[in-house]
Amino acid sequence: MDPRVSTKFQAVVWVPVSVDFNIEAMVKVILESITGRPPAYSSMFLLQKSLTETLRYRKVLVILDNVWEDNSVEKWQTLVDPLKVCKKGSRVLLTTRMQSVVDMASAAIGTAAEYLKLDDLDEYDSLMLLKSRLPSQVANNLMLIAEQILKKIGGCPLVINLVASWLGSHMETHHWIALLQKGWQHIEEKNIIIESFRLSYNRIPNELQACFSYCSLFTKGYKFNKGELSKMWSGSGLIPFSSSKQENIGIEKTKHVNMLSAEYVGEEYFDTLARKSFFFCMLEKDPSTGDQNEYYVLHSLMHDFAKLVSRLYCTRMDNPGFPYVCRHTQHLSVSHGSNLRRISVCFKFLHTLIITNEFCPDEETDHVLGSVLQLLRQLRLLYLDVPSLFHALDGLSNLTQLRYLLLFSCDESHLHKVFKLHHLQVFKLKHFTVTKGNSIHMHNLRCLRCLDVPDNMSSKIHQIGKLTSLQELHGFDMVKNYFQRSKSLGDVRSLFQLSLRNLQNVSDCEEAMEIKLKDKHHMEFLSMSWNKDMKEILDHDDQVIDNLEPNKEIRRLHIHGYDGVNLPFWIENSTLIHLVSLELEYCMKWKSLPSLQELNSLKHLKLENLFQLEYIGTEPELQLETDESEDAWLPPFLSTLKVRWCPNLKQLPAIPCTLELLMIKHVHLASLPRIHQRYTGARYSQSVKSQLSFLHIESCPHLTSLNKGLLEQQEQLHSLTTLSLRHCERLHHLPTRGFAELHRLTSLEVVACPILRDVNTRGSLLPTSLMNLDVNPCGDTEASILMALQNLSALRRLTLFNCSNIEELPSVKVFGTLNNLIDVSICRCKNLISLGAIGAVASLRKLSILCCDKISFSHSPQDGCCFKLQKLRIDRQALLLMEPLRSLRHTKELQIGDDYAMESLPEEWLLQNAASLHSIEIGVAEALRSLPSEMKKLGSLQNLHIERAQLIQSLPQLPASLRKLAIWGCNTSFLKRYGSGGEDWGKIAHIAAVDIKAYSEGTYYGDDQSQDFINSNSSRPFIMID
């Protein structure tokens, strides 16, 4: 065991647990490990008593390995109760595959759990793991195949170990190539992985097994939305709900127990599967807003397992040559038009048909699909996300059992066929073609629970009040001078979710009251939107919105485009005490907001495009002369706060300790908010543990210093992992103590803060936990940040962009300590003259040097390099003649960008990397006249791609290993020589994929005017993707 661990504890105990959560056996293992002898008792009571006495006043680390128990909190309490007498600083470390185990253990112990989720390994670590499991001497040609295998199997350590074991016992080349072509699933040892998944699968109820298996209908990597998937489960008949089964499947009792919809139960199913780690929650950054959007995925291996266990009743036909559909198939997904004819084998049993937009149907396919739909009389779910269907929709009215219908588009004639589907529960339409402009009457759909249609259809729907089962209504348009429409909406009492649009058309308070939002007692989500572009100047907006008061049970509220001056009283007075999420956008005239501190349930608050907002809480002139008046704090249990485009907001109230995400963009702040001290009673209390993990500050033009606010309180920021400072042009000062006390910080961005001053911080500037650093540009601090890299052994990625104050990269004293740095990108550092001792970074695998034109021979280091690059990206081939790049011997990928002066490639450098180099890409070869004569000696080269190569007249003999050749922008004579049938075609005929383009004289390279020759030999295992 690592002495850094063992020396901190008086005893370290490892307990193998597995599926059988045998408390008596585990207690005996702990006792024997500490005392050195087997316990003398067999009684559970005496064993617990002995364990309690043994552990008292001891500082211990108990490791519970491979835990599965997530059903009985009582069992956990029996195990952990004796552990509570341990000395302060003791720890329980458990390994598990399921989040639900962590939750239950944490509840039994009585403290919040800190956990580390192990993601897939990156490319470099995957390769290192594979090599460590292979024999010490493996031929270069085999390692090249192994790297391609890794790209196909991903970064799961379990699979890498399995594949490495198999490769190690099958060292012949043909075995490795077979594995590359067929996949790891074809080796016998795959059952080891399958059985590990089956353990999880067998521990969930049959209902959840069916829902999980259903997910095999979607592609690998599909981004699941919980609400949408739960509706599909329900529509396909997978959720036959009875309240007696509630607790058996892990659904908690709620106030809605007597009216739970199948969709609600489906969401609980989804949450249960996520807690048991069948789904993984992921975050995706929205490029337009910077928001971290949440979605769920199945791990690639879990998707393979879903296909295995569902193969008899779920089928995904995702290629033209799909061989077989089981006659008992109930749920079918089709992504290629040619497969539609095969659906006939499962007409009798098919309940689900999903056809996605991965192909555009022609008229024949449209007719075939129409014929198929005529026969699918038992179909419950039809998902047609395919444009240009006309004949296929003619048979919709025959699908009388349909519960769920999604259409990409339809017109009024097809819409009337939909209205005959009396059992329909969910109807979603993306595009509606208006032909006659008549009113739409859909009151026959008495079972309809969810309606999501385009604006031009929503505004034409009449008698909405007759849809008495409706629970979700998306985008209901208020129509001017149509009082009866509002009154009809008031009759729909069962709504859970409602989106109201064009509220500027509500004529008066009486019409607003007729909508009866306050009487919709089951409604949990309400969106209210005014169209400011179409709005007339009215003086009754404040009264209208006051009369749109929702019920007090509402949990999510979104107000967009409201043009009144005053807030509705029901926000001002914080009457919505159950509110969990509040979004206020484009409310242009609001100058103040209450602090909302009474909303104890509020978790998510978004304030965006409130252009006149000046303060939150007490007016600044009335506040006491203290940093934190009683009114200057936000809701106490807030989790996320996003404040964007509020250019007059000069101050934010103190944030609660519960806040996990804070985003501030285009705000007038002069200083960051503080962490509220109400919870500790002392201004500088050390007991506060803020949960803030993500902090993004961008475009705050009046922010000049980070010495005030939450970054001054670093002793409380125990959870901060990501910090981004962007485009704060007047920011002068970093925190006085730097960032060194942020012990969990892994990602730091300092972007476009050009006048930061270089001041001496107390201690180190950067924390040792840092893994990703982006410097771009940050004034006088650029050099200090580089020097602060010393001993950052966790650092993996370093980006320097537009750093004009850097003239030389650090010495070996700094770079020699960066043991895990794998990726360095240096771009537009216009005054950089030397790469320093970057060659000392032995772990480096990716290096980019672009637009750094002052790097020269005279300032290049004399020492070589000790790294083996996976990928080198440069824009001047002259860099290959300078150290440390000149000494490279093991480069695998070379990219040369816009080097307009390059007349030849450095032959000597290419030859010294010949054993490993498998890809060369040249972006601009306008001056390149020829390739090196010894190209044939590059025995590992598989890909050669050259663009703008109009001066190249001929090719030398190319290596036999080459599989892809692309030459774009050559002259027409070159194309004639090397095209099929040309005089030199024989020199490249052995290459599996050839793509040669000759652009017309005088055209730009972005134009489509070109002559080309493309050849792809499909009999070979490599395919050119153009």
Answer yes or no: do 899 and 1023 share one domain.
yes
Please state whether beta strands 722-726 and 747-751 pair in parallel, antiparallel, or not at all (unpaired).
parallel
Instruction: For residue 680, tell me if it sits in a domain.
Output: no
Answer yes or no: do 134 and 253 share one domain.
no
- Ranges 134-148, 489-503, 902-916: which has the least confidence: 134-148
Instruction: For residue 495, tell me if it sits in a domain.
Output: no
Answer yes or no: do 39 and 137 share one domain.
no
Q: What is the average pLDDT value for the chain, to the nearest integer?
A: 86
Answer yes or no: do 172 and 237 share one domain.
no
Answer yes or no: do 212 and 148 share one domain.
no
Q: What is the mean pLDDT of residues 236-252?
A: 62
Q: Above 50 in pLDDT, residue 681?
A: no
Number of compact structural domains in the chain: 4
Q: Which helix (H) or strand (E) holds 123?
A: helix 123-133
Q: What is the mean pLDDT of residues 955-975?
A: 93
> CA angle 967-973-978, nearest 5°?
55
Return the CATH number at 233.
Answer: 1.10.10.10
Instruction: For residue 152, tell me if it sits in a domain.
Output: yes
Q: Above 80 in pLDDT, residue 714?
A: yes
Answer yes or no: do 916 and 1009 share one domain.
yes
- Ranges 191-205, 616-630, 871-885, 914-928: which has the least confidence: 616-630
Cα 900 from chain centroid (whole Å): 39
Answer yes or no: do 242 and 154 share one domain.
no
Share of the chain residues as helix, strand and coil, in percent rounded to the nearest 5: 30, 20, 50
Instruction: For residue 865, tell me if it sits in a domain.
Output: no
- pLDDT, residue 763, reads 62
With a pLDDT cut of 90, the percent of the chain lying above it is 53
Identify the residue with better confidence: 146 or 342: 146
- pLDDT, residue 847, reads 97
Reported as a pLDDT band with limits 50, 70 and 90, residue 322 is low
Instruction: For residue 932, tell me if it sits in a domain.
Output: yes
Instruction: For residue 705, tell me if it sits in a domain.
Output: no
Answer yes or no: do 73 and 149 share one domain.
no
Q: Above 60 in pLDDT, residue 931?
A: yes
Identify the residue with better confidence: 575 or 391: 575
- Exposed (0-12), middle (13-18) or buried (19+): which is 470, by Cβ within 10 Å? buried
Instruction: For residue 540, tell me if it sits in a domain.
Output: no
Identify the residue with better confidence: 442 or 1008: 442
- pLDDT, residue 1009, reads 43
- pLDDT, residue 1017, reads 47
- pLDDT, residue 436, reads 72
Identify the residue with better confidence: 187 or 850: 850
Listed residue (442, 441, 485, 435) closest to 456, CA to CA = 435
- Ranges 191-205, 251-265, 879-893: which has the least confidence: 251-265
- Ranges 458-472, 510-524, 779-793: which has the least confidence: 458-472
- Ranges 260-269, 297-306, 753-762, 1010-1019: which has the least confidence: 1010-1019
The rounded radius of gyration (Å) of the Cα atoms in the chain is: 33
Beta carbons of 230 and 263 less than 8 angstroms apart: yes
- pLDDT, residue 682, reads 41
- pLDDT, residue 244, reads 46
Write down which residue in 308, 327, 349 finishes a domain.
308
SS3 string, 396-465, reads: HHHCCCCCEEEEEEEEHHHHHHHCCCCCCCEEEEEEEECCCCCCEECCCCCCCCEEECCHHHHCCEECHH
- pLDDT, residue 680, reads 41
Structural domain boundaries enclosing 274: 196-308
Instruction: For residue 16, tell me if it sits in a domain.
Output: yes
Residue type for position 204: I
Answer yes or no: do 175 and 277 share one domain.
no
Q: Above 90 in pLDDT, residue 854?
A: yes
With a pLDDT cut of 70, the percent of the chain lying above it is 89
3-state SS class at 209: helix
- pLDDT, residue 1014, reads 59
> CA angle 840-846-847, nearest 5°?
70
Q: What is the mean pLDDT of residues 648-665?
A: 95
Q: What is the mean pLDDT of residues 765-782?
A: 93
Return the CATH number at 32.
Answer: 3.40.50.300
- pLDDT, residue 128, reads 86
- pLDDT, residue 125, reads 85
User: In the structure encoding, which two tokens stand for residue 42, read together?
Assistant: 């067999």
Answer yes or no: do 162 and 204 share one domain.
no
Reported as a pLDDT band with limits 50, 70 and 90, residue 1018 is very low
pLDDT tens by residue, 83-121: 999 999 999 999 998 889 999 999 998 887 887 888 788
Write down which residue in 79, 109, 139 finishes a domain.
109
Answer yes or no: do 244 and 162 share one domain.
no
| Measured distance CA(182)–CA(502) in Å, rounded | 56
- pLDDT, residue 756, reads 92
Q: Above 90 in pLDDT, residue 758?
A: no
User: In the structure encoding, which two tokens stand for residue 522, read together?
Assistant: 């089951």
Q: Where are the alpha helices (DSSP H) in 682-753?
A: none
Most confident of 419-423, 537-541, 825-829: 825-829
Q: Calculate the alpha carbon distances from 1020 to 381, 398, 430, 959 in Å.
A: 41, 48, 42, 16
Write down which residue in 78, 109, 140 finishes a domain.
109
Q: Above 50 in pLDDT, residue 181?
A: yes
Q: Calculate the alpha carbon distances from 1007 to 273, 1004, 1011 in Å.
A: 50, 5, 12
Reported as a pLDDT band with limits 50, 70 and 90, residue 346 is low
Listed residue (766, 781, 884, 784) closest to 824, CA to CA = 884
Q: Above 90 in pLDDT, residue 61?
A: yes
Answer yes or no: do 80 and 164 share one domain.
no
pLDDT tens by residue, 860-913: 776 778 888 889 999 999 999 999 999 999 899 999 998 888 988 999 999 999
